[in-house]
Every structure is written in C-alpha cells, then in structure tokens.
Amino acid sequence: MTQHSTVETEIKLAVSGTAEAKRLLRDAGFRTVRRRVFEANTLFDTAGAELRKTGQVLRVRQCGRRVLLTYKGPATRGRHKSREELETEAGDAQAIAAILSRLGFQPVFRYEKYRTEYAGKKGGVATLDETPIGVFLELEGAPDWIDRTAARLGFTPADYITASYARLYLEHRKRNRRSPKDMVFSS
C-alpha cells in the first residue's frame, strides 16, 4: 500500500474538446504517461456537511483496479488553488465506504470522468479530464510551472479555474435544472 502526502497546487482549463486538448498537449511537448482510465469518485461528509463547511474533502476514487482514499484540506485560493492532500491506496471501495459509514460519513456526491495523464520535460503533471460537463486540462505543479505551461498552451490567468468538479457541477445544475444530482455519464 502506498501513501502520498503533499501540498497540491493546481488549476483547470476548459477546452472545447478532447481532440483540441490532445493537440495542445502534443504541440507543447507533453507525452502520455498514464493511459485513459475511467474514474468513479465518491465524496463523503457528515450529515451536517461539516467537511464541506470547513473546505475539506474526503474522497474514495476507483480508477481501473486501483482504489484511492484521499483527504484534502482547506484550499488557499489565489490565482492557483493549493491545499494539503493525503492519499493512500486502499483495497476495496465498498469496504472503505462501509468503514466511513460506521464513522459517521455518508456519500454526498458522485462524479465520473475519463482521465489521461501527461508529463512534459520539466516540472508538473497535466491531465486531460473528460467529464459529463465538458473537457478540462488540469495542471498540477509549482505555480511558476503552471503559469509557464498554461501560457505555452495558449491560456492566460483569466482562463484559470480553481473550482472543484463538485463546485463546477453545482453551477452547471443551476443553469441546467434537469441535470441529475450527481455528475455521472448517462447509461
């Protein structure tokens, strides 16, 4: 079992589609380091939404055969979003959900995406996220690397998105009232 603890600094960039995102990454010298995989994510919270109220996140992610349990601390927002992230591989998503339930946490939001991970010559990581509400590039690394990389991809700080997928989906639901409760692909 691996454990990962760090401060995560990232932004999202909205792109018009997967083909455009791949072209931008290829032209900027990125190469695929993790092939496209389906991710099913479930956020957990207390009945009183104590984690959300304090800006914390407790997530179980199933990606392929891997299951990850993640804690994210409150975000420091500026041009980039930074927050503590503790993550560990877990064996069984249903067992983890049962343990969290026994501890007073319940599933509050599910979201799905297809993610492909890319690396450039130096610095951070770029991911291509295909979601039910659009396609996003996510840049994670040191702030100066994020800014240089975003500029190489043709974006400016005005294009930076620091909201979570849960927040983006909440905004989407306000505009599209018939959207389902969770951000999932229709069957």
Q: Which of 1-15, 106-120, 171-185 has the lowest mean pLDDT?
A: 1-15
pLDDT digits (tens, 9 = 90+) for 5-46: 589 999 999 999 999 999 999 999 999 999 999 999 999 999
Domain ranges, residue 140:
3-175
Locus of tokens 């979003």: 81
Confidence band, pLDDT 50/70/90 cuts, at residue 123: confident
Confidence band, pLDDT 50/70/90 cuts, at residue 2: very low
Per the structure, how many domains does the chain have? 1
Q: Is the residue at 149 inside a domain?
A: yes
Confidence band, pLDDT 50/70/90 cuts, at residue 187: low
Q: Report, as an integer, the average pLDDT of 167-184.
A: 93
Tell me the whole-structure pTM to 2 decimals.
0.92
Q: Is the residue at 187 inside a domain?
A: no
Q: What is the CATH number of the domain that holds 86?
A: 2.40.320.10
CA-wise closest residue to 137 among 22, 58, 56:
22
Q: Report, as an integer, the average pLDDT of 125-138.
A: 98
Q: Are 108 and 43 in contact (CB under 8 A)?
A: yes
Q: Are 119 and 33 in contact (CB under 8 A)?
A: yes
Q: Is the residue at 152 inside a domain?
A: yes
Q: Cα–Cα–Cα angle for 23, 163, 8, nearest 5°?
A: 80
HEC letters along 70-90: EEECCCEECCCEEEEEEEEEE
Q: Is the residue at 58 inside a domain?
A: yes
Q: Is the residue at 82 inside a domain?
A: yes
Q: Is the residue at 180 inside a domain?
A: no
The Cα–Cα gap between 187 and 40 comes to 14
**DSSP 8-state class, residue 183:** B
Tell me, what's the pLDDT at 179? 83
Two structure tokens written together for 48: 């009183």
